[in-house]
Structure 1
């Protein structure tokens, strides 16, 4: 399989991952916890097959793993909750503000300042997000509206995702992608299982099957394909193709869930994705901060 084909297949699977928030009849937090459990089992077997270690090298790495795992847990729960109370399109487009958030957060680690170009792109993304709920500005929607709450959760998810990626890049890059995801899923499971509402014995066979499919194929395997494709293509190509994830996700939602995005959503999403693609081309990122959403 060619690198480009692996790349598109991985991003395609990641684009379809969001649909499970609608297809699995569990609260977002519970779904994230059980997904993490099954992902941990699969990734542990995969890492041992690759003859890599399942342990952390130092206490400092343990603290870093706890930080990135916590951010990952918040990212996933808020993202899936946003999908559940709004639509796949709105949640995914709100999430894809993360490349611009990365532009403004990463200078704090590099002790630099965003450029004027970054400021302009940031304002463009802000305008794109505003277009996702135009009725708010013309009356008719209150602050408690599910659309507004969903977009807010999507933006929180984007912030956590951007910060997690930066921490992985600057503090955790000495572990492989599989190891990094394994530790993140372990932390997520440990944090969320004590507060889940759905006991394991109450899960139906259908729900378990969907969770396993979600965790193994649309999460672990998707990222394995993406990581493998980077070595066969380039990080820049991977970043650009990764920006197709919302397109794939919205298409899946239309075909499977019959969710038709509003014109304002399409317009705002186009601005957000255009800014993300432009920033990716301009910076030629080569580190995990350019990875597609998980």
Structure 2
């Protein structure tokens, strides 16, 4: 269990950089995700061919895995769109709503009973987001897109928890992101038709940041979180990922001085979100001691 928590928190720390990288990379959100997936998929195939320890997956299993990959691609596009329409801090706070969405979706999908504590902690996060939304209406579009992104993130995390019980995490990651890449390749021309991009090719600095995003914040972080899901519930994983805004917002304040553009209500909302993480951690350890 301790190893799983270390893997999880390392993945969260790496994930904290993704929002900042989304701001640094000048590409349209759909192109950004397409290049991210391209580099990631190539890296995963190299690793897969070197190891050759993946288990054969049936066509039905592959369809399920790649279907979740479509959700991953849509989550990433909406997450970076939230950054473009608002800023890094707002997008990352909206991402924290995955705890609330998971408290609803996981029982519906896995048919386990609803957990009252999970629902209450999830509502605490929603209250924090509401404070930001209510007092900062200029970020309305970015917040709505960010909440859609959080819903999609919750859905694929719950689905992944089921998949990693049947297949190796490396196999799931490989086929999942391949599915996301193929889906986005088909979607991209239509997306760019309605939302044209200023440029299609990454600049030299964009290329460097994309490599960091794909190799460290995607390939490595993805495998760490998938391994953690073998031992830890999807809700606890998602609630721990609420620490991602703490890392990302801190970097956004430091690098982009976003603190100058945020009201006091933002900090109250952020405090409620951090409280939900602290309370969940306390409840997990309390339940473990009882067991």
TM-score > 0.5, shorter chain as reference: yes
1:247 corresponds to: 246
* 1:41 maps onto 2:42 in alignment: yes
Q: For residues 93-137 of structure 1, what are the alpha-carbon distances to aligned partners after superposition, in whole Å with 9 as ceiling and x for unaligned?
A: 11111122111111113334424444433432321111112336x
TM-score w.r.t. the length of structure 2 is 0.80
Structure 1 stretches lacking a partner, 5+ long: 285-294
CA distance in 2, matches of 1:102, 1:262: 29
* Compared CA separation, residues 223 and 159, structure 1 to 2 (3 A): same
Q: For residues 193-231 of structure 1, what are the alpha-carbon distances to aligned partners after superposition, in whole Å with 9 as ceiling and x for unaligned?
A: 232546997333332222122111222123345567x59
* Compared CA separation, residues 11 and 149, structure 1 to 2 (3 A): same
2:181 corresponds to: 189
Q: How many residues align?
A: 270
CA distance in 2, matches of 1:166, 1:8: 18
CA distance in 2, matches of 1:225, 1:126: 27
* Compared CA separation, residues 235 and 277, structure 1 to 2 (3 A): farther
* Compared CA separation, residues 173 and 47, structure 1 to 2 (3 A): farther
Contact 2:44/2:174, CA 8 A, preserved across alignment: yes
Task: Name the SS of the counterpart of 1:202 in structure 2.
Answer: coil
CA distance in 2, matches of 1:171, 1:241: 20
Contact 1:89/1:265, CA 8 A, preserved across alignment: no
1:211 corresponds to: 210
1:60 corresponds to: 60
CA distance in 2, matches of 1:17, 1:214: 7
1:292 corresponds to: none
Between structures 1 and 2, the one with greater helix share: 2
1:275 corresponds to: 276
CA distance in 2, matches of 1:170, 1:269: 31
Task: Name the SS of the counterpart of 2:23 in structure 1.
Answer: helix
TM-score w.r.t. the length of structure 1 is 0.79
CA distance in 2, matches of 1:219, 1:77: 14
Structure 2 stretches lacking a partner, 5+ long: 286-291
